[in-house]
Amino acid sequence: MESNKRGAFIVFEGCDRVGKSTQSNQLFERLKDKGVAVKKINFPNRSTIIGDVINRFLKNTEELSNEVIHLLFSANRWECISSIQADLMAGTTIICDRYAYSGVVYSVAKGLDFDWCWAPDLGLLKPDVVFYLKANPDQLASRDSFGNERYEKLELQRKVSELFDHFNERESSYWHQFDAFETKQELHSKISTITENLLLQVAEKPLERLT
């Protein structure tokens, strides 16, 4: 029987190595254990043709201009959006590691214009909630070393962090900021409480678009 209650669209955002994957996986496991229909996805989605180009760019085996890679990251969301919408409308909750906000902050950190960067993502589905894990990148660097991917550099992460703060203020009605240095368990418990309340309300909330 098809559920008439849509799923929730949940996004995790934050700098590299801040713990998004850990927290999104824990939330996914918890909802699954509770019998909630849930899927975990992430952007970039490296499994598509566009995602493969993005992957090569991130691994430094492909050079692309700032504008071109920006538009590919956005296109990578657009190519997945109809399947995300279908899942949500069928009652499946989506937990998404990074979304359009990452798209904007990494490109603006490299020097592109904010409005130009936001434009290609206009009209994508708007998340019901964004969990923003915040940490000072200088502290993150001492906690754990960055990997070899493009962007995993302290100077850039400092800019990225400021730009996420800007989004957190601008989109404050559905963003929740957390201190990434709280224990995994504390974070998980706060995030779960907000999610469980959201799941009760989501039936009455129409899906919106990014504006």
What proportions of the chain, in percent to the nearest 5, are helix, strand and coil? 55, 15, 35
Within a 10 A sphere around the Cβ of 107, how many other Cβ atoms? 23
With binding defined as CB under 6 A, does residue 43 bind ligand NYM?
A: yes
CA 74 to centroid of chain Cα atoms: 13
Give the C-alpha separation, 11 to 169, whole Å. 16
| Options 7, 14, 103, 120; binder of ligand NYM; rule CB under 6 A | 103
The Cα 113–Cα 109 span in angstroms is 9
Q: Which of these segments, 8-16, 47-55, 74-82, 168-176, binds Mg ion (CB under 5 A)?
A: 8-16
Radius of gyration of the chain (CA): 17
Give the ranges where the chain is alpha helix by DSSP (H): 20-33, 49-58, 66-89, 100-109, 114-118, 137-143, 154-170, 184-201
128 binds Mg ion (CB under 5 A): no
Using CB distances below 5 to 8 A depending on partner kind, what does residue 151 bind out of ligand NYM, Mg ion, none? ligand NYM
Say which entry of Mg ion, ligand NYM, none residue 157 contacts (CB below 5 to 8 A, set by partner kind): none
167 contributes a contact to ligand NYM by CB under 6 A:
no
* Binding track over 70-99 against ligand NYM, x by CB under 6 A: ---x-----------------------xx-
Q: Could you say whether residue 164 binds ligand NYM (CB under 6 A)?
A: no
Q: Give the residues lining the site for ligand NYM (CB under 6 A).
A: 16, 43-44, 58, 73, 97-98, 102-103, 106, 151
